[in-house]
Amino acid sequence: MQKQVEYADAVKTKYPEQVVIAIAKDKNGKANPVTLGWTMIVSGKPPMMAIGVASKHYSIEAITHSKCFTIAFPSSEMADAALFFGSRSGRNVDKFAEFECRTEPAKAIDSVLLADAVANFECRLTSQVPTGDHITFIGEIVCSHMNTEPKKRLYTVGPGHKLGPAS
Ligand SMILES: Cc1cc2nc3c(=O)[nH]c(=O)nc-3n(C[C@H](O)[C@H](O)[C@H](O)COP(=O)(O)O)c2cc1C
């Protein structure tokens, strides 16, 4: 049986929610990482993924400028990085200069990978769709990477950006 409730209450049942860090270079060549929960695989052949980015975020400028982005799956040890990248704006801060986080160059796009992530996907921007107060960016995956060590993914496990492994 179901009871009608407010959207804000029903949507709190979504946890655990996956966390990704998307990275795109801005017009000055600065790589800007942003933490995102709103993401999904949208095609298998070709492989494609989507990310939802709020219209006010600096990442919009970086992604529309470079027309490509990395999607990294952070490991459960990367909660501090995810919180830092998800609470500062690249408009005011060079996030990689201010928070120690190992990177590697991407292979097929002009971006970087997160060396300690579980996996990294290099995406070429194929389309962008305004979706209410966010823009949904869709990218085709042109190169994929996995950590050589076994690692657990990072999730948001409860409201207020409570981060941790899913179980
Ligand atoms: C766990 C977590 C999940 C987040 N999910 C999203 C998201 O899905 N979409 C979004 O636009 N912002 C999301 N944010 C907020 C942005 O990461 C944050 O506002 C960031 O500072 C924007 O950076 P930018 O201005 O450099 O783009 C999330 C933050 C955290 C900590």
- Domain ranges in the chain are 16-157
Query: Considering the domain 16-157 in this protein, what is its CATH number?
Result: 2.30.110.10
Which atom number of ligand 1 is nearest to the Cα of residue 90?
Answer: 26
The answer to whether the CB of 137 is under 6 A from ligand 1 is no
- Cα(57) to centroid(ligand 1), Å: 8
Residue 5 pLDDT > 90: yes
State pLDDT tens for residues 94-144: 999 999 999 999 999 999 999 999 999 999 999 999 999 999 999 999 999
Beta pairing class for 48-54 and 68-73: unpaired
- Cα(151) to centroid(ligand 1), Å: 23
- Cα(56) to centroid(ligand 1), Å: 10
155 in helix, strand or coil? strand
Rounded Cα distance, 138 and 15, in Å = 23
61 in helix, strand or coil? helix
**Would you say 89 and 32 are in contact if contact means Cβ atoms under 8 Å apart?**
no
Q: Whose CA is nearest to atom 15 of ligand 1?
A: 86
**Would you say 151 and 118 are in contact if contact means Cβ atoms under 8 Å apart?**
yes
Q: What percent of the chain has pLDDT over 90?
A: 99
CA pseudo-torsion sign 41, 43, 49, 54? negative
Query: Ligand 1 test: best mutation among 11, 30, 32, 57, most atoms within 8 Å of CB?
Result: 57
pTM summary value: 0.98
List C-alpha distances in Å: 62 to 44, 46, 48, 108, 116.
Answer: 26, 24, 19, 17, 23
Identify the pLDDT of residue 116: 98
Residue 167 pLDDT > 80: no
- DSSP strands (E only) in 4-65: 17-18, 20-25, 31-36, 39-43, 48-54
Question: Counting runs of H as helices and runs of E as strands, what totals does the chain give?
Answer: 4, 12
Helix (H) or strand (E) segment spanning residue 72: strand 68-73
- Cα(146) to centroid(ligand 1), Å: 24
